[in-house]
Amino acid sequence: ARVNSVEYIEDYTKACVMMRESLSPESQNALMYISPAGRWTFQRRNVKSGATISTKSNAGAISTPHWVRIVRSGNEVSGYHSPDGNNWTRADVDFVPMSTDIYVGLAVSSHDDPQLATATFQDVSFGGSGFSFPVEFLDFNATPDPDISQVELNLSTASEENNSHFVVERSRDGAIFEP
């Protein structure tokens, strides 16, 4: 996914691609994110209820737009980043055991609850060997409206196949999700 912009709330505000075994707060997970401080980070929790591990650059190392990618092969998960979507650098790799069926998606966190943050993604795709995601996103924008505690979602797709709806869930802390 290309992260076009991330609103600055604080240095660790993040826009990321994420995979997690479940929607419970203590779930194993892995994510690759970009911060408005110009930092890329590969973050993961490889044991349920365990500590979060991060591999990150120094602040100012990158600028948006910047690409992020997560790749899973069995229980091995790698985080990548790229300035152009063609030349990828692996941030790190780790063993993150998860079941065969997992949750994947985009996430934005202000890292300052209850303040909301805005990020803009483009060219989002999900896929891999033997996997076909029926939607190709061209743009995905989420804009918070703190006055009414809502987020306006705007997205455009290049194609959709056999989709009657999308399920969108929200989280205040990036750990507990609800419809």
pTM score, whole prediction: 0.75
Give the type of residue at 16. C
pLDDT tier at 31, thresholds 50, 70, 90: very high
The predicted model gives 13-37 an average pLDDT of 93
Least confidently predicted of 47-61, 79-93, 124-138, 145-159? 124-138
- Residue with the bigger pLDDT between 140 and 104: it is 104
Whether 159 has a pLDDT exceeding 60, the answer reads yes
Percent of residues, the chain, with pLDDT higher than 70: 70
User: Does residue 65 have a cis peptide bond before it, meaning omega lies within 30 degrees of 0?
Assistant: yes
Q: What is the radius of gyration, based on Cα positions, of the chain?
A: 15
For 13, how many CA atoms within 13 A lie in the half-sphere containing its CB?
20
CA distances 157 to 90, 125, 139, Å, are 28, 11, 7
pLDDT of residue 162: 57
The count of residues in the chain is: 179
Look at residue 148 in the predicted model and tell me its pLDDT: 63
Pull the structure tokens for residue 54: 């991060």
Instruction: Answer whether 31's CB lies under 8 Å from 49's CB.
Output: no
Instruction: Specify the pLDDT at position 158.
Output: 67
